[in-house]
Each structure stands twice: as structure tokens, then as C-alpha cells.
């Protein structure tokens, strides 16, 4: 089967922009895109099924379904926005997904973007900064396919040491660049040990996208969750032994 995209609605789109936020480090990208979808209330237009997903099914109220990601459409007068959200992406563990499956899945998303007339793709992710995240509020780091795209995100940092962006967040952009599309990975600083999610880092991504595209969102919910986690970090940092801040010598190695 590979990866299949099943559309329930097909429409002609206006200057569409694609956002992708799937589970990764600190669940930053997933939390950010899920919150935006909840607030914007876009229309679901497709399901994504793939043999690169875990070999399981989902049950709800006695009914069985294959695990899937979803595509939502938010329409405005001048521009349309597509959101790829969901509970899974191909695993980085070779025990569960092969290199070929990663490339096949990401390639299908790029092909979809081209078919729908997308010119810009943004992947949302987390970047691991270790214990620094416990001691300071997160910043946004940008890595883009073209220099002019970096300049569009004022206040974002650039990691000059370089590194790797693993999974869909990186592969989609690399493949998109080869096909003539523009894009950027928008990363919120987090700690890889935050397996239940970093709402503070997600909030920073949402704020940056809201400023760029003038989305009308009620930020109360994400602000509350963000404050809770920042307060928890303050308590933890008081209990941690003082040490000098470590440099991120490994660049973007731990991004997903």
C-alpha cells in the first residue's frame, strides 16, 4: 500500500500554504498545529494512511479504524491554508520503519502539495536544548530552503553550527526544495525528556505564525498551559545544581 491519501472533499484552492505538525521532540509541532486547528475550525478534507505507521488499529465506541493522519482546509478571501495533523509519523527506529518508508511518506506529502498548487510549506517541530529549557523561556529557531524566507520571521534565531533535522519535518522540506518549492522548519526550543509536551515552545510557534498570517485565535488555553509548564520549570531549576550553560555544539541534530 505504501502511503495513500483519501480525499472526502476536493476544491480549487487560492494560493495555498501547507503546515505540517506531527509528533516529535516535546510534541511541540503537534501541540502547536492541533491548537491552531481547534481554534480556526477548518474543514477536514482527507485522511492519510501508510504502511510506515505502527501495525495497529484504532478503536472507539466499539468501532475499528486504521490509524491515520488528517488534512484540514482553512479558507480565507486571499489565501487558503492546509494543515497536516495526526498521531503518527514514520518511526526513526529501524525496527519499525525503514529509510525507504520515510522517503516514500515525505515524497507523497510533497507530491500532494504540488498537485494542490502549494508554493510554501512550513513544518513545525521541537529542537532539543537540554536543561537550558528548564532555566529560560523558549526561543524560535528557523531553518529554511531559501535565505529570503528566514528574513520573514523576525525575532527567530538561526543555528549557524548546522546539523540534522530528522523525520518528516526535515525530509519534506529537502524534497520540496528539489521540486522548486519554498519552505521552512519552525522549531521551538524544548527538552527531549518532555514526553508529555512543551506547551510553552508550542505557544511561541503559534504566536509567530499568527503574526505572519494574522490568524484570529483565542490564546487563553495555550497561555494557561504554557504558564503551568514555565512555573514547573522554575521550581525544577531551583532544585538543580548550578552549572554554566552548555553550548549547542551539536547544532540541529536533535530536531524532530
Q: Please tell me what DSSP assigns to residue 76.
A: -
Predicted confidence at residue 236, as pLDDT, reads: 65
The answer as to CATH 3.40.50.10900 being correct for domain 3-239 is yes
Whether residue 250 has pLDDT greater than 50: no
Lookup: cell for 150: 528566514
Predicted confidence at residue 239, as pLDDT, reads: 63
For 68, phi then psi, to 5°, come to -150, 155
For 90, phi then psi, to 5°, come to -55, 135
State the pTM of this model.
0.89
Tell me which residue of 143, 142, 145, 141 sits closest to 174, measured CA to CA. Answer: 145
Predicted confidence at residue 248, as pLDDT, reads: 46
Predicted confidence at residue 96, as pLDDT, reads: 72
Amino acid at each position: 500500500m505504501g502511503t495513500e491519501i483519501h480525499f472526502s472533499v476536493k476544491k480549487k484552492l487560492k494560493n495555498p500554504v501547507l503546515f505540517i505538525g506531527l509528533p516529535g521532540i516535546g510534541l511541540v509541532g503537534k501541540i502547536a498545529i492541533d491548537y491552531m486547528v481547534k481554534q480556526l475550525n477548518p474543514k477536514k478534507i482527507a485522511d492519510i494512511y501508510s504502511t510506515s505507521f505502527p501495525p495497529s488499529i484504532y478503536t472507539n465506541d466499539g468501532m475499528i479504524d486504521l490509524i491515520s493522519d488528517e488534512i484540514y482546509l482553512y479558507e480565507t478571501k486571499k489565501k487558503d491554508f492546509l494543515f497536516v495533523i495526526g498521531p503518527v509519523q514514520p518511526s526513526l527506529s529501524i525496527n519499525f520503519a525503514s529509510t525507504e518508508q520515510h522517503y516514500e511518506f515525505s515524497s507523497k506529502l510533497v507530491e500532494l502539495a504540488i498537485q494542490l498548487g502549494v508554493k510554501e510549506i512550513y513544518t513545525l517541530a521541537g529542537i532539543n536544548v537540554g536543561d537550558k529549557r528548564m532555566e529560560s523561556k523558549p526561543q524560535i529557531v528557523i531553518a529554511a530552503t531559501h535565505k529570503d524566507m528566514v528574513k520573514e520571521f523576525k525575532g527567530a534565531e538561526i543555528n549557524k553550527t548546522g546539523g540534522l533535522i530528522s523525520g518528516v519535518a526535515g525530509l519534506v522540506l529537502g524534497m520540496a526544495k528539489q521540486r522548486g518549492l519554498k519552505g521552512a522548519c519552525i522549531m521551538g526550543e524544548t527538552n527531549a525528556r518532555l514526553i508529555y509536551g512543551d506547551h510553552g515552545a508550542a505557544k511561541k510557534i503559534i504566536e509567530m505564525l499568527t503574526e505572519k498570517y494574522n490568524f484570529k485565535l483565542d490564546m487563553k488555553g495555550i497561555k494557561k498551559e504554557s504558564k503551568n509548564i514555565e512555573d514547573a520549570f522554575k521550581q525544577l531549576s531551583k532544585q538543580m545544581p548550578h552549572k554554566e550553560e552548555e553550548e549547542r555544539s551539536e547544532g540541529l541534530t536533535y530536531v524532530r
